[in-house]
Amino acid sequence: MSKLLTDLIEALRCLPGVGGKSAQRMAFHLLERDRERGLRLSQVLGQAMRDIGNCSRCRNFSETPVCTLCASSSRDRQVLCVVESPTELAAIEQATGYRGQYFVLLGRLSPLDGLGPQELGLDLLADRLAEGEIEEMIIATNPTVEGEATAHYLAQLARAGNVRPTRLAHGVPLGGELEYVDRGTLAHAFGSRQSLD
């Protein structure tokens, strides 16, 4: 196998979920059947790597200094949803009617991985909270050990800025049956139960 072909296969392995065999199939497909779209992929990929950065207000991916969500006058500026990644922001946008603002951490507190408050941009978040416009901060971190630690830190940051922290509900999924829910999820849902008024 040529060095260039080997390099192409290795380059494709950087994608999540793509191992050696999948990368080889992709490379062979592009070279055998789809060279035109392969060239288009390389052009768009190169341009995206050069031109997409992070929004200066929310840290989401953006081609401009301030992303379209932050620049929009139709968004509710009194509510801020904090997420771990742009993937989660996209999921919330697609699945809900949320019309507030966002802040993207680009990770979660994990001292073992070298991710502390500075790496998550929490100084920028504190500055946004200090502006006085935000009344509620929705904490939408994942229910992992690191996500919960991050949520606790974010709640303290919100309270220090006189902002009401709220947390996304976790527990039994809609349409789920209790006998099929794992023990940890069921215990969390049971402990976080709410009264029906």
Whether 66 maps to a domain, the answer reads no
Domain assignment present for residue 178? The answer is yes
Judge whether 38 lies within some domain. no
Per-residue pLDDT tens, the chain, 197 aa: give them.
899 999 999 999 999 999 999 999 999 999 999 899 999 999 999 999 999 999 999 999 999 999 999 999 999 999 999 999 999 999 999 988 899 999 999 999 998 888 899 999 999 999 999 999 999 999 999 988 899 999 999 999 999 999 999 998 877 777 877 778 788 777 777 777 776 66
Q: Is residue 161 part of a domain?
A: yes
- CATH of residue 98: 3.40.1360.10
Residue 40 lies in a domain: no
Instruction: List the domain range (segments joined by +) for residue 98.
Output: 78-196
Is residue 49 in a domain? no
**Euclidean distance between CA atoms 115 and 111, whole angstroms:** 5
